[in-house]
Structure 1
């Protein structure tokens, strides 16, 4: 059985900086995904190359520094399970980015804390108070505003992908927190990429096509941005509690809006401007409530409670 890793000293400012960097890289990756999908690159190829690019990059970096031993693990089954769930979440995230305007796809990703509360209450049978239930209702009202039922709704498949990403990331957050007790961040990133690329490779014979030099550059850039984002996301949790760092995830909406304006000449629709603040407010209520509760219980319990709020915007 793998022994727990020694607890890391908390460095909240470093954790916040790492999380902000992660959101910048993650937003850049989804921007590149949207550009590549518009060039004709299929979703299975995007998922495969996002994952496959990470494997040699990590091996080369660790080999050059003599740290390949960091990949040794006694929890291979846990890594494979996390990769299975995370790859499904990555498919939803990439699908949402390809089918929806970037600010809409990003905003739907903020539903992760709402789903985490539902999982806590319905699956884990833990008590959820009125503050968090109110936040869940508020957040899903925001989703309805963005979806515009009866009006000019967002594409249903894109909406399903965006909400699916929020749900799966909530599930993956529990797996990440559990793995981080015994595994270094680089091992979590590597084994997710390794197994995820194997899973995605199964679909390549049916979807792989020839690509131009520009498309290959896009795929390489997606792999680089995604690898760095995932490492920063995992590292941030080593130096700060989830309630501290998760608030920084909302900075992704700034990047998504900026990319949408610069590359596609689009600004969020009125429904997004109305619905996004409701979803963000719901997430902030949940986060602040978890922070309040964490101060009333033991540090160990606080970490476990905080795990329900971890948002890995990539479904990983």
Structure 2
């Protein structure tokens, strides 16, 4: 067993679940952009994305052991995860609305870069030349895509996307911690409840009458988002963050396909130049974290045997 792994770790299963979860979230993101262009307000999109998940998760809980399976002894941790998650949703949904799908998705790949920076600031970890080089390469890729001052995308939108990526890095650490004691269903349920309660007072001020098609669109957004959220959360129960996050890069394929099919948009040359730098940075970071964890585990076993 590698460092940081638990008895529940199943790496291949974790990768597959994460891949399916990312497909669900990519579908949700495309539909959010489509719904925004139909005039549905961002706050309303956020609310229905989460509110629709609650009855689905309640039914799931009743079928798998009863509502009491949703009980938790860590309400403060769930509240923090809910507030951070809501902030992350605002930023990530906002990025999808403000930017082309491929660009919003690609900038979101900078989450591992922020995870490295957070590990230095919050965990006081020592980071070597490989990971610092990856951080530099990743930010270079972001600059190539955003082209501050003269790019094809608004700088404000790029900054919103970067903020969303930062929150993904922070939330991934939270979820991994919660997954040690809480089931994936419990984590997703309390996130949906917390964010829905926070958004509910604002919804009446931004909502408007919708057509049947709009309501169906909101329903599918909620279903796709719930499926995706369960997938990426469950993956962190069976695998390490540094391993499963590799599957997140599959979303650029979905973003490109949806951008072409729904919005007749393909990424420009700058995105194709910058994206490999950001993806390579994330892969290098994941690889180095894996090596560092294994070396730490080997040192601990050596110390225990002396």
- Which TM-score band applies after superposition, normalised by the shorter structure? over 0.9
Instruction: Quote the Cα distance in structure 2 between the aligned partners of 1:240 and 1:234.
Output: 10
Alignment partner of 1:249: what SS? helix
Mapping for residues 56-205 of structure 1, pairs under 5 Å: 56-205=55-204
Which residue of structure 1 aligns with residue 219 of structure 2? Answer: 220
- Answer yes or no: is the 8 Å Cα contact 1:112–1:169 preserved in 2: yes
Q: Give the whole-Å Cα distance in 1 for the aligned partners of 2:203 and 2:148.
A: 36
Contact 1:100 1:154 in 2 (8 A): yes
CA drift of 1:243 comes to: 2.5
Q: Distance in 1 between matches of 2:175 and 2:235?
A: 12
Q: Give me the whole-angstrom Cα distance separating, in 1, the residues matched to 2:233 and 2:283.
A: 21
Aligned-pair distance for 1:151?
Answer: 2.2
Per-residue CA distance 1:62-99 (angstroms, 9 max, x = gap): 22343322211111111011100000000111111111
Partner of 2:291: 292
Aligned counterpart, 1:254:
253
Task: Give the TM-score, by structure 2 length.
Answer: 0.93
Structure 1 position 269 matched with structure 2 position 268:
yes
1:113-172 per-position Cα deviation (integer Å, ceiling 9, x unaligned): 111111111232221111111111110011111111242341133112210100111111
The answer to whether the 8 A contact 1:111-1:163 is kept is yes
Higher alpha-carbon deviation: 46-55 or 151-160: 151-160
Measure the CA separation in 2 of the matches of 1:217 and 1:123.
43
Match of residue 47 from structure 2: 48
What RMSD over aligned residues (CA atoms) do the two structures have, in Å?
Answer: 1.6
In 2, Cα distance between equivalents of 1:149 and 1:66: 53
Aligned mates of 2:53, 2:248 — CA distance in 1: 22
- Unaligned runs of 5+ residues in structure 1 are 1-6, 302-316
Question: CA contact under 8 A between 2:188 and 2:229: conserved in structure 1?
Answer: yes
User: How far apart, in 2, do the equivalents of 1:178 and 1:148 lie?
Assistant: 37
**SS where residue 153 of structure 2 aligns?**
coil
Could you tell me how far 1:13 is from its partner in structure 2? 1.7
Deviation at 1:36, TM superposition (A): 0.4
Task: Output the TM-score relative to the length of structure 1.
Answer: 0.90
Contact 2:175 2:236 in 1 (8 A): no
The aligned residue for residue 312 of structure 1 is none
Can you list the C-alpha shifts for 1:39-67, whole angstroms capped at 9, x where unaligned? 00001001101111111111122223433
Secondary structure (helix, strand or coil) at the match of 2:295 reads coil
The answer on whether the counterparts of 1:8 and 1:238 sit within 8 Å (CA) in structure 2 is: no
Give the match for residue 304 of structure 2.
none
Structure 2 residue aligned with 1:3: none
| Number of positions where the alignment pairs a residue of Structure 1 with one of Structure 2 | 295
